Amino acid sequence: MKRKHKKYSKPKKSFDKLRIEEEAKIVKQFGLKNKKEIWAAEARIKEIRERAKKLISSDEKSKQALFGRLKKIGFNVNSIGEALSLDKSDYLKRRLQTILVDKRLANTPKSARQLITHKKVLMGGEVVDSPSYIVPTELEEKIEIKKKGKKTRREKQNEN
Residue 157: predicted pLDDT: 73
pLDDT tens profile 91-119: 999 999 999 999 999 999 999 999 999 99
pLDDT tens profile 3-36: 888 889 999 999 999 999 999 999 999 999 999 9
Does 9 map to a domain?
Answer: no
Domain boundary residue, one of 45, 62, 92: 92
Does 128 map to a domain?
Answer: yes
Q: Where are the alpha helices (DSSP H) in the chain?
A: 17-30, 36-54, 60-73, 80-84, 88-92, 96-102, 109-117, 153-159
Q: Between vectors from CA 71 to CA 70 and to CA 75, what angle results, nearest 5°?
A: 75
CA atoms of 44 and 41, how far apart (whole Å): 5
* Domain ranges, residue 127: 95-147
Domain boundary residue, one of 92, 113, 137: 92
Domain boundary residue, one of 92, 115, 136: 92
Does 155 map to a domain?
Answer: no
As for how many domains the chain has, the answer is 2
